A and B are shown apart, each in its own frame.
Chain A
């Protein structure tokens, strides 16, 4: 059954913005699918609203739509493109849901589009809890006892029958949103009510608890000829009760005998066949009672999933690529295994190493949320590590996390041990080690955590080795012991701490003893066949398989685990660096540890090192590869932190000199530079103590912006309107600043913020984008919507910005990319921040301008000039790149996952992802961006306004716009008075603490369609927070800035005025090109 020739054009649906539970693993799967299908001669049309993805790059699909993933826009794409088929299984839950919605709306039938990958019936059978249970029962697989509830009464009745605890899962929500564990009636009512609301079909599955059972996942593939294989088995470290996405996981499964594993394999294959997934990958989750061996099936995903990405990276088997090929008719045995080249893809990978995945959480960004793990996923990213043993792999995974905390220096509280072990939380792994240090036994820890004793025993052995090593001086350690330490995953820095030495001295000592890292290959077959792909991981074995070439080569340091402020945008840059190097004839070497990314696909770069981004590991690779250059400016803060130490170790960093990157981060040096250049910046100072901070704040005047140095994403950044806030901050922020001082800046209120990206070769500077923020300065740039081209800047302001940017790039001798943030207040331009590196906005600007910024930057880093690369920049080597239409980038927030957190925007970045809206005018682009971000603006109804004193003057204009658009108005007393005075009809509503019915009551009653609630200053009051929280819960868009409200008004006008229309990036850029010529 070879390739289908009856279909020619295939529509791929992407997964939209990065959110918790759906991250860049779907960029990975979508990108693989695009590449695989195009390589097979199909015309690929893509729709995805996320501009930061590799898949939406204009050269990956034939026709790329960065448009909202809604039925209306997808239908318009289908109407325009008339694809023969729609591939539904590589775009995560979003892609699957949109495919189902298109089918149910009759769109697929109307345009005669065939659903490939998974059919509607299969999707429904897998996703609908009841259908799924029935199906499983019919093939003899047990599921936990459960009942689907559509109201609270049914839930209480079920609880009375089964008893507590109970697991609650709302139907059709992302990453288990709204789910939870109910230990009692009160929990049940709380979670059930929320779950019913969050579920788009108002259903919640209540299930018998299998808490504490062992949890497993199998990755399965099947072709149209019913050949089915298991790609990978995964065992969870955390027992049932913690969402898989929040669990530490291990591949392959470690504690099952063959009999038990084969029982699970049989179950997974039977499940796949019964659900009827006829082509592609799926994942099936099981739980096993550790006492009796009773096995239940927990769920299955009839599509490529987060675990598929992990399994692909863990085994070297490209699940999404193969899934795409199977969807167009190939059989598994007709596809070759890329790695061995000789054997077919129809086999089950076997591995001779152990893979560990650890999630990355960021509860610290959501004050008010409890750092506790349960059935709802909270992690924002993950790392994967490969080691020859579990111990080695675990050690590597922990260092890959870059938590900034060293395992032994961390302050653990002995009093908290029991609590931290019993209740799953982000610190639990650390507490397990701590408990062993304090004399707990494996049995005790097992009873408290339910973690399998085998895993605990391994950790216990490492803790014991630690103690052994710490007892003797470094000089007395022999080769055997040193090798043992490295083989068990202990880092040089950990050894240095116990020996009162430095990591580099430990490194020197162990190399003297002959203990050096070697590299082994990931080959899908445990060395049974020769491997042709240099996909490598380090170990302390005796034979190195790296086989470095003698070509000219450059190493790219990736960005590590996704986290808020450092996500897919940087992976986009790193991938492009690899593609660009290939085109420039230079070998590319990628180093990264994030399994979700395209950069860790073995065919993105020439050579892939799946390694932690630490000095130790990067130097190991450097010693083996001896690259001609290393790129540090594409991976965000992670590689930048390594730049200077690497340079000191003699590693050639290409592009902007790390010393200059450092200069831009150094307040004092940078301040001096600005002074010399005559570029204004807000008054500022630094402080290392509470008293110093107060003194600085007083001297520059309130409000002030306080933040630690060297962080990304506005971590721990606050705007202080008074001394108390500064004092409180200084006491709480010390953890983050350590030896680095705290930075204090004068905060410019109501200023317009502008982000600028540019390319520079040290002589010429080409400004690639001037992005105007929608929200005023003070909202973190990553959390603000922005627009290209700017809509409200004066010619003088633009000229000043251009001139400052050129001066800064030259002064810092930037070679490659630079990003500058400006604030404009009363016509005066201030520099807020300069980052001589790739910024978060690079992919967005690349897509808006059609110019591949990272590619040009790589050329510059390789020593070419902008003049040499003019063919890539539309002939331009200076000035500002033109933007052919309006492009709005909007952030997407995870507030729904963090109950109790105030969703007001501020200087600390909290968005996890972004979307882009494209339009002929600003309003249209903004309206599309809001729709894509999941906060569609209303077309009718009531707009609620409550604005602070400063904003009242603008409220009238705004109120009039809404009235003109046919909306009614409601407002709190003060705002209502202003509006009424201007002759507008407005209903006065109580604040929450004023009486009832108040704004929250109206929200609950569905009487408000848009909330505009601006903050009153330094800290938010409970009333404001309550309204914003309820707006979020009831999915009513809530805008917290005046400028955001104005943009919304324009967008709502566009929704009235402009038709539903879509453009491909390719046609936008072609049009722009021909306009230039």
Chain B
């Protein structure tokens, strides 16, 4: 049986069984509480720099398939699970989760007491850690974890962003003959999407809602964006700390008031920064598919998919032009903002889901409506 270790900066070492690639990788150890959608988690670029622990103890059961990838490859640094199924069972499965991760060079440690790990992270906050397979000196791993860079202050978004602009044409496709997606609207709105680590399902949802999307690199200037005369600008999700992204915040500041802007996750934090807010690092973040968010405009609760380690500070928005539209009912953190006078809005959570509930798909329509209004006036 292949031995593997997970060493944390606080000196804790978890023993387990090695799957996936036999590589040593470091990262910030975080946990995700979703019961479904491990493949979407693996391939979400927002997990760059992170070793992901899944609280669902049975992982790999339904294998992996190309359609459920959120980007071209997995972005997690490593995976920590309780049980890892080597054989998959699902009609859409193309390979096992193990084959998928091995192929992409991602190490997995299984048979770990993930609940103990999660309790540690919840109580003490996220920790840096190292995954290694084989016989390795645990102390060396602990030292390596301590030497690895902290997530705070780290710009990862520009690293995972696309090198070149490209057009996106793919819409949402049903996963079963019984899935009702609804008709795709005609592509009448030209949208420039900043890629900070964008998930494919955001692009599919935008396309489905009626956008013609061009994805641009994180370093694109506001002038270059406006030169393309877009109907709207989208700011994507992505990994790392938003604060170092000063250039991006500055570009967004220039866009506000000129064109409708919609941001998700990191895009929301950048918009917040652009509108004068501050951000801070959460103790252990929000990662999962069950977070209740209250839409204060409709007074309805949405169950949302979340994946973020930083948040916008509500206090920094007092007396500003910004309306706090959504709040997290678990811990009252900011989940959505809207500019009081300009067509600008954003959410901290993931309305595109993948993985997660579909309660918030309406936000894509809101973006369309905003562009429509703005076009009219």
Contact = CB atoms under 8 A, between A and B. Distances in A.
Given A257-B68, A293-B175, A388-B57, A528 B122 contact: yes
A343 B330 contact: yes
Contacts of B300: 225-227
10 contacts: A257-B65, A257-B92, A258-B40, A288-B176, A333-B292, A343-B329, A348-B357, A454-B61, A525-B33, A526-B115
Q: Which residue among A292, A347, A388, A528 has the maximum number of chain B CB atoms within 10 Å of its CB?
A: A528
A526 B89 contact: no
Nearest to A387: B57
A347 B58 contact: no
B86 to A, nearest CB: 9
Nearest to A541: B113
Contact of B55 (A257, A258, A453, A526): A526
Contact of A352 (B114, B178, B355, B356): B114
Contacts of B115: 352, 388, 520, 526-527, 541, 543
A333 B62 CA distance: 33
B357 A262 contact: yes
A265 B301 contact: no
B37 A257 contact: yes
A262 B119 contact: no
Range for the number of chain A residues in contact with chain B: 35 or more
Interface in B331-360: 353-358
Interface in A777-798: none
Interface in B1-39: 31, 33-37, 39
Interface residues of B, number: 59
A262 B176 contact: no
B36 A293 contact: no
A347 B303 contact: yes
Given A263-B175, A352-B115, A542-B113, A254 B58 contact: yes
B116 A332 contact: no
Contacts of A454: 61-62, 85, 87-89
Chain B: interface secondary structure? loop
Contact of B303 (A348, A354, A527): A348
A411 interface: no
Given A226-B300, A293-B92, A353-B57, A346 B329 contact: yes
Interface stretch (B142-150, B206-214, B231-239, B283-291): B283-291
Q: Which residue among A233, A294, A350, A545 has the maximum number of chain B CB atoms within 10 Å of its CB?
A: A350
A255 interface: yes
A142 interface: yes
Rank and list the top 5 A-B pairs by shortest CB-CB distance, nearest first. Answer: A258-B37, A258-B355, A293-B176, A526-B55, A259-B175
Given A294-B178, A457-B85, A527 B58 contact: no
B376 interface: no
A421 B290 CA distance: 39
A349 interface: yes
Contacts of A290: 91
B33 A333 contact: no
A346 B55 contact: no
A258 B356 contact: yes
Interface in A521-556: 525-530, 541-543, 545
Given A265-B358, A350-B290, A529-B330, 17 more contacts: A227-B301, A253-B36, A254-B61, A257-B36, A261-B35, A348-B303, A350-B55, A350-B288, A350-B289, A352-B57, A352-B118, A354-B57, A388-B82, A389-B57, A454-B61, A526-B56, A542-B113
A292 B180 contact: no
Contacts of B330: 342-344, 347, 529
Contacts of A288: 176
Given A527-B118, A529-B330, A389 B83 contact: yes
A261 B111 CA distance: 25
Nearest to A223: B301
Contact of A229 (B37, B303, B355, B356): B303
A281 B312 CA distance: 35
B178 A258 contact: no
B113 to A, nearest CB: 4
Nearest to B86: A457
A543 B33 contact: no
B358 A140 contact: no
B292 A255 contact: no
A527 B90 contact: no
Interface string B288-299: 111110100001
A266 interface: yes
B61 A255 contact: yes
A347 B304 CA distance: 9
A646 to B, nearest CB: 29
Given A256-B62, A344-B329, A350-B290, A294 B35 contact: no
B62 A257 contact: yes
Contacts, number: 188
Interface in B314-339: 329-330
Contact of B294 (A253, A333, A527): A333
Contact of B357 (A259, A265, A541): A265
Nearest to A525: B33
Nearest to B180: A140
Nearest to A259: B175
Interface string A258-278: 111111011000000000000
B56 A352 contact: yes
Contact of B36 (A258, A291, A354): A258
Given A257-B62, A344-B329, A252 B178 contact: no
A296 interface: yes
B135 interface: no
B224 interface: no
Contacts of A233: 35
A351 interface: yes
Q: Which residue among B178, B329, B330, B354 has the maximum number of chain A CB atoms within 10 Å of its CB?
A: B178
B290 A293 contact: no
A1059 B90 CA distance: 63
Given A257-B37, A528-B33, A292 B177 contact: yes
Contacts of B301: 227, 332-333, 346
B137 interface: no
A389 B82 contact: yes
A999 interface: no
Given A261-B36, A266-B358, A352-B118, A294 B292 contact: no
A104 B19 CA distance: 63
Contacts of A294: 176-178
B266 to A, nearest CB: 21
Q: Which residue among A254, A294, A389 has the maximum number of chain B CB atoms within 10 Å of its CB?
A: A254
A295 interface: yes
Contacts of B67: 259
A894 to B, nearest CB: 36
Contacts of A450: none
Interface in B116-167: 116, 118-119, 122
A1013 interface: no
Nearest to A342: B330
A850 to B, nearest CB: 45
Contacts of A258: 34, 36-37, 39-40, 68, 289, 353-356
Contacts of A390: 58, 83
Contacts of A265: 357-358
A452 interface: yes
Interface in B44-71: 55-58, 61-62, 65, 67-68
A528 B119 CA distance: 7
Contacts of A487: 111
B193 to A, nearest CB: 22
B89 A347 contact: no
Interface string A493-528: 000000000000000000000000000100001111
Contact of A291 (B91, B114, B291, B294): B91
Interface string A377-410: 0000000000011100000000000000000000
A225 B85 CA distance: 41
A520 B113 CA distance: 11
